[in-house]
């Protein structure tokens, strides 16, 4: 596990949560809306404190966090290090035009 990446990502998520004035338990509730399987506040705490490698977080959880924190999924993936070594933009995610 890359501890620097895990800590940086966790601190960034924590700052997003604090800026939104959300508690860990409220984020848990928001990720479980619409009958979806969400994430526990304990899991989020482990991510925020750098005890969980961002690369081991499931894409489903990353999508939920992007929705809850209202950040583009691409930004969240880049912060997590998933897109490391790639230069992507939102245009890259558009389907090719014929």
pTM: 0.79
For the stretch 7-16, pLDDT in tens is 999 999 999 9
Between 38 and 21, the higher pLDDT residue:
21
Question: What are the distances in angstroms from CA 34 to CA 16, 37, 43, 66, 88?
Answer: 23, 9, 20, 16, 31
Q: How confident is the model at residue 85 (pLDDT cuts 50, 70, 90)?
A: low
Residue 54 near residue 47, CB atoms below 8 Å: yes
Domain ranges for the chain, please list them. Answer: 3-93
**CATH number of the domain at 3-93, please?**
1.10.260.40
For the stretch 34-78, pLDDT in tens is 677 889 999 999 999 999 999 899 888 999 999 999 999 989 998
């Amino acid at each position: 596990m890359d501890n620097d990446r895990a800590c940086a990502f966790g601190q960034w998520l924590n700052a997003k949560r604090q800026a939104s004035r959300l508690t860990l338990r409220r984020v848990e509730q928001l990720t479980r809306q619409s009958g979806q399987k969400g994430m526990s506040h304990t899991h989020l705490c482990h991510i925020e404190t750098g005890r969980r490698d961002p690369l081991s977080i499931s894409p489903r959880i990353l999508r939920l966090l992007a929705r809850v924190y209202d950040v583009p999924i691409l930004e969240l993936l880049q912060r997590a290090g998933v897109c490391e070594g790639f230069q992507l933009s939102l245009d890259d995610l558009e389907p090719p035009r014929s």
